[in-house]
Chain A
Amino acid sequence: MNQGPNDNFAMLQQMLRRRPPSGERCDFCSTPVGPEHGHLIELAERRILCACRPCALVFEPSGAAQGKYRTIPVRYAEIEEFALDDSAWDALQVPIGLAFFFYNSLEKRTVAFYPSPAGAMESLLPLDTWAEIAAAYPAFAAIEPDVEAIVIQRNREVSRAFVVPIDSAYELVGVIRTSWKGFDGGAEAHAKIAGYFEKVTERGRGRVTARRT
């Protein structure tokens, strides 16, 4: 059709009428992906990207795309008989009863984050403290750099740790960021955190536990 005076109006109107694509999509090729889809991490930005199976496979070989992306594995495992005394926990300088740790290969060090209402906060992790804990739990040292994390929940009632994919750790951050209220978080935040750990426990069940002593 020739360019008419109302074509721009029509274009905008059509765009507004177009139904937003429902559900999540692959960040590479835009194909719709189901609720259970894979993720890649863009290392330099530490950004998590949704990927359909074919796109995820493209970047799976090490060195693909100059190592810009890494495929995030799907491994959940509870670390058996996890116990951390107060002094060890305090030394980690995490103000709440939750934290996650992963090895950052670009910075060549283990980093610790704790979720806060403002997002993930980095704790200035004393390296020797981490080395001591990692020595006691070989599973800690066996996680894949950048793409797997150790999530620790520790309070008066529980003391437990899980190996989770890094996107799952960020999911926990998201849960807290959107539901945390006031000083102690409130009932909704605590219910959601409990829900997160139930799901992680469920996924870790039936798998080989990460403890190898």
Chain B
Amino acid sequence: MLERVEELLAGFDSAQTPRRARERAEELVRTVVAFYGEGLERVLTILHEELGERSEAAFARLCEDKLVETLLCLHGLHPIELAERVDAALQSVLPYIKSHKGNMEVSRIEGDVVFLRLEGTCDGCPASAATLKLAVERAILERVPEIREVRAEQSETAAGALTDHNALRMLSTA
């Protein structure tokens, strides 16, 4: 892998146009980051072998550090499954929603988008769209770097009520 880095650095000067230079730069970043990712994976494997049962606690500690956690996510090495992490983030704001007799749960995850099923008083309530964007999405995005957006799954009773457009209107009038 390091030979490839050397090659790319040497080839850098050969790029005669900005487009070619960008491509080379991207490949260089890709190669270097992959090199670190490979190293990170091996470190975790060794830790796991050495610590045995205690490795779970050690990994949890690692994930308490936001920077380390982001790195683990980037390389697909997070010890906890994506769905489980999304759910944990949702749980953190659920007490507030439940205090309004509402409920939300994760319906599915598609790429970097989480779809939530709205239940109870949330279902069909225009204010739930604002809560979704303001509180729920924020909580999930903050804790799960792989996610970029949270959407409400359209229910028959509230079709159209929970679009981003309506959410924004709610926010601007709030």
Chain A residues close to B by CB (< 8 Å): 1, 4-7, 9-10, 12-13, 15-16, 18, 20-21, 25-30, 42, 45, 47-50
Chain B residues lying within 8 Å of A13, measured Cβ to Cβ, are 74, 146
A6 and B146 contacting across the interface, CB-CB below 8 Å = yes
B135 at the interface (CB under 8 A from A): no
Return chain B residues, CB-CB under 8 Å to A18: 26, 30
A49 contacts which chain B residues (CB < 8 A)? 14, 16
Besides the known contacts A16-B33, A16-B74, 17 further A-B residue pairs in the complex with CB atoms under 8 A apart: A1-B148, A6-B148, A7-B148, A10-B146, A16-B30, A16-B34, A20-B30, A25-B23, A26-B20, A27-B20, A28-B20, A29-B17, A30-B17, A30-B20, A30-B23, A47-B13, A48-B14
Tell me which residues across on chain A come within 8 A of B91, comparing CB atoms.
none
Task: Give the contacts of B64-105 with A (CB-CB under 8 A).
Answer: 70, 73-74
| A24 shortest CB reach to chain B, Å | 10
Residues of A within 8 A of B17 (CB): 27-30
The answer on a CB contact under 8 Å between A9 and B30 is no
> Is B38 interfacial (CB-CB < 8 Å)?
no
Give the Cβ gap from A173 to chain B, nearest Cβ, in Å.
Answer: 13
With a cutoff of 8 Å between Cβ atoms, the chain A residues found around residue B73 in the complex are 9
Q: Which one of A4, A45, A47, A48 contacts B149 once the chains associate, using CB atoms below 8 Å?
A: A4
Q: CB-CB < 8 A to A20: which residues of B?
A: 27, 30
- Decide: A29 and B20 in contact? CB cutoff 8 A: yes
Knowing A9-B74, A25-B23, the reply to whether A15 touches B147 (Cβ < 8 A) is: no
Q: Distance (Å) between the CB of B89 and the closest chain A CB?
A: 12
Q: Is B134 an interface residue (CB 8 A)?
A: no
Residues from chain B with Cβ under 8 Å of A7 in the complex? 148
| Residue in A5, A7, A16, A47 whose Cβ sees the most chain B Cβ within 10 Å | A16
Contacts of B15 in A (CB 8 A): 27
Task: Tell me, in angstroms, the Cα distance from A15 to B33 when the chains sit together.
Answer: 10
B20 touches A9 (CB 8 A): no
Say if the beta carbon of B112 comes within 8 Å of chain A.
Answer: yes
For B74, what are the chain A residues with a Cβ–Cβ distance below 8 Å?
Answer: 9, 12-13, 16
Residues in B140-167 with C-beta less than 8 Å from chain A: 141-142, 145-149
Residues of A within 8 A of B23 (CB): 21, 25, 30
10 contacts between A and B (CB under 8 A): A1-B149, A4-B149, A6-B141, A9-B74, A13-B146, A18-B26, A20-B27, A20-B30, A26-B20, A28-B16
The answer on a CB contact under 8 Å between A4 and B141 is yes
Say if the beta carbon of B54 comes within 8 Å of chain A: no
Asked if residues A45 and B19 are in contact (CB atoms below 8 Å), the reply is no
Report A-chain residues with C-beta under 8 Å of the C-beta of B146.
Answer: 6, 9-10, 13
Chain A hits for B26, CB < 8 A: 15, 18
Interface flag for B29 (CB, 8 Å): yes
**B147 partner residues in chain A, CB cutoff 8 A:** 6
Cα–Cα distance between A27 and B30 once the two chains are bound (Å): 19
> Known contacts A10-B112, A15-B29, A16-B74: does B148 contact A45 (CB below 8 Å)?
no
Give 7 closest A-B pairs by Cβ, nearest first. Answer: A9-B145, A27-B14, A28-B16, A30-B20, A27-B16, A6-B148, A5-B141
Residue-by-residue, is B29-59 near A (CB-CB < 8 Å gives 1, otherwise 0)? 1100110000000000000000000000000
Question: Judging by beta carbons under 8 Å apart, are A47 and B20 in contact?
Answer: no
A12 contacts across to B, CB distance below 8 A = 33, 74
